[in-house]
Structure 1
Amino acid sequence: MSLQVHVFFLLCVALATVAQSLTGFAFGLILLGLVATLQVLPLTEVAVVISILTLGNALGTLGGPKPQLDRAVLMPVLISSLLGVSLGIWGLGALEGGQIVWLRLLLGGLIVVASLMLVVQSKPQAQLSGQPSFWLAGGLCGLLNGMFSSGGPPIVYHLYRQPLGYEVIRNTLITVFAANAAARLGLVMAQGQLTLSTLWLSAEALPLVLLLSWLVRRYPPKLSLRTVRWLVFVLMALAGVSLIWDSLPGVLAARAV
């Protein structure tokens, strides 16, 4: 790769890291989106790099003093999301190509609607939702991660509607996505798909991820929860539109048959 490609890649990593450190999600969404737009690297390779760097972001953001977490919220989401990843991988193999395309289109539409509801309802709920809702949101998160690597919206939408502190929400999301990334990375390693070039890319970007994550944790920008919710809305909307856009060619081809 040329020096210019390396610089572009690191700039994409920097933007994704800052967004993830502020909101708790969107690292993969931003990095994959930018790399796909700039066409600087193979997306299959970047997808594995994202899993490694997500773990680095979690270490940089949650390392040091004990992070603020609510175990009653974290544990059901964490356990159900890991179970959902396995189910999602199985479901991806069980569904036919045409069914997957329509499912992606539906998912994209639901994510856009959910993002709009998040900003329309400008204030969090008065009371914390019941435990079953956290199990359901976590399970959907893992299921969509296993099928489409787009599991953020269900759990992001659910948590940002709860009467929880901003740091608790962000730290919960980062922990869950790091665990999901570790599960995906273990699967890649078991299948022998971890290449030397992937490791080099990860090693190149990891110091930047750790540094920026630490800086955001050490010198957090003074953002109100309302501002963060608007940032989450933009990222969720981008995720939904991206899924719709990617699925449209397949849907149009299916209708033409």
Structure 2
Amino acid sequence: MTSFIEAIDLGGMNAALISFSLVCVLGAAVVRGFSGFGFSLLSITALSLVMEPAAIVPSIFMLEVAASLPLLPGIWRDIHWRSIGWLLLGYTVFVPIGVWLLANAPVAPMKLALGIFVIATAIMLLRGFALKQMPSRVATLAAGGASGLLNGAFGIGGPPVVLFYFSSPAGAAAGRASIIAFFIATDLLGLGFQAREGLITGTSFWRFLLFLPPLLIGVWIGNRGFKSVDPALFRRIVLWLLVVLAVLTAAQGLFQLWSGPGSAEI
């Protein structure tokens, strides 16, 4: 038993850090279970206050997959499969370009611009803008490409896809289900790239196991909340959540501009 405990490597996390991390994961998981997105940005933003982002991103990606899989049976029939295919095609093509931007372009101004764009678009949708029909293949490819570009550049590829579905006539259930399905696919792709680069370690896996119980509890709580909420109210809540996440993203950009080149890139 002692040797097993000694084999657990959490990267030097003490009791206070573990407690803080568990609370952060639980809160982000409730949001994810309710809306279908937001877990990565909320958890990474909170945990980055006390840990290096590079040390937690692989574990968060594992948790993203674990957060989504329990929801699949209940959302399978609502997924808009045709749009998912075109979104993933655009995403896959543009991820390498985003990675190139990460290596060659300043990230902070891009984050600030993204935050401002998402806030403006979400407010426009809150004021009643909506498409009368599903976007064309070209528009769907463009949304997927924007997601891949942003995810490759700084790990925040969710806003274009969320805005895509919540401006379309797909409906709350179909939009949420499709967002969840899209993120399962992109998270698995992301884990593959991380494994290839040697970023997934034993510490990543042990942290994943540590965070798994609060993740599952939070997703269950959030999913129950979605089932009882009015679709119109759900749409408003999701858009305001997107505004909050965009404000966090813009704030990260401003902080990195203020801190200079030595600041974190996530």
Q: CA deviation at 1:189?
A: 1.1
TM-score (norm 1): 0.86
Residue 90 (structure 1) aligned to one of 82, 86, 100: 100
Q: Which residue of 1 aligns with 2:264?
A: none
Name the CA distance, whole Å, in 2 between partners of 1:83 and 1:5.
39
Q: CA deviation at 1:139?
A: 1.0
Against the structure 1 CA distance between its residues 59 and 253, is the aligned structure 2 distance closer, same or farther, given a 3 Å change threshold?
A: closer
Name the CA distance, whole Å, in 2 between partners of 1:168 and 1:150.
22
Is the 2:93–2:145 Cα contact (8 Å) retained in structure 1?
A: yes
Q: Which residue of 2 aligns with 1:106?
A: 113
Q: Which residue of 1 aligns with 2:137?
A: 131
Higher mean alpha-carbon deviation, 216-225 vs 48-57, is at 216-225
Alignment of 1:1-257 (within 5 A): 1-37=13-49, 39=50, 41-63=51-73, 66-93=76-103, 95-97=104-106, 100-121=107-128, 124-214=130-220, 216-217=222-223, 220-249=226-255, 251=257
Q: CA deviation at 1:43?
A: 2.0
Against the structure 1 CA distance between its residues 174 and 196, is the aligned structure 2 distance closer, same or farther, given a 3 Å change threshold?
A: same
Against the structure 1 CA distance between its residues 63 and 210, is the aligned structure 2 distance closer, same or farther, given a 3 Å change threshold?
A: farther
Q: CA deviation at 1:3?
A: 2.8
Q: CA deviation at 1:252?
A: 5.5
Higher mean alpha-carbon deviation, 156-165 vs 56-65, is at 56-65
TM-score (norm 2): 0.83
Number of equivalenced pairs:
248
Name the CA distance, whole Å, in 2 between partners of 1:65 and 1:230.
20
Against the structure 1 CA distance between its residues 64 and 154, is the aligned structure 2 distance closer, same or farther, given a 3 Å change threshold?
A: closer
Q: CA deviation at 1:220?
A: 4.3
Against the structure 1 CA distance between its residues 249 and 125, is the aligned structure 2 distance closer, same or farther, given a 3 Å change threshold?
A: closer
Structure 2 runs not aligned, ≥5 long: 1-12, 261-266
Name the CA distance, whole Å, in 2 between partners of 1:82 and 1:20.
23
Is the 1:140–1:151 Cα contact (8 Å) retained in structure 2?
A: yes
Name the CA distance, whole Å, in 1 between partners of 2:231 and 2:224.
18
Name the CA distance, whole Å, in 2 between partners of 1:175 and 1:252.
37
Against the structure 1 CA distance between its residues 253 and 52, is the aligned structure 2 distance closer, same or farther, given a 3 Å change threshold?
A: closer
Name the CA distance, whole Å, in 1 between partners of 2:258 and 2:202.
38
How big is each residue's C-alpha offset from its partner over 1:190-244, in whole Å with a ceiling of 9 and x where there is no partner? Answer: 1112222211110122243334435654674411222222222232222322232
Structure 1 runs not aligned, ≥5 long: none
Q: CA deviation at 1:62?
A: 0.8
Against the structure 1 CA distance between its residues 205 and 154, is the aligned structure 2 distance closer, same or farther, given a 3 Å change threshold?
A: same
Q: CA deviation at 1:64?
A: 6.3
Identity fraction in percent: 25
Against the structure 1 CA distance between its residues 190 and 234, is the aligned structure 2 distance closer, same or farther, given a 3 Å change threshold?
A: same
Against the structure 1 CA distance between its residues 234 and 36, is the aligned structure 2 distance closer, same or farther, given a 3 Å change threshold?
A: farther
Name the CA distance, whole Å, in 2 between partners of 1:219 and 1:158.
23
Q: Which amino acid aligns with 1:7?
A: S
Is the 1:49–1:201 Cα contact (8 Å) retained in structure 2?
A: yes
Against the structure 1 CA distance between its residues 121 and 190, is the aligned structure 2 distance closer, same or farther, given a 3 Å change threshold?
A: same
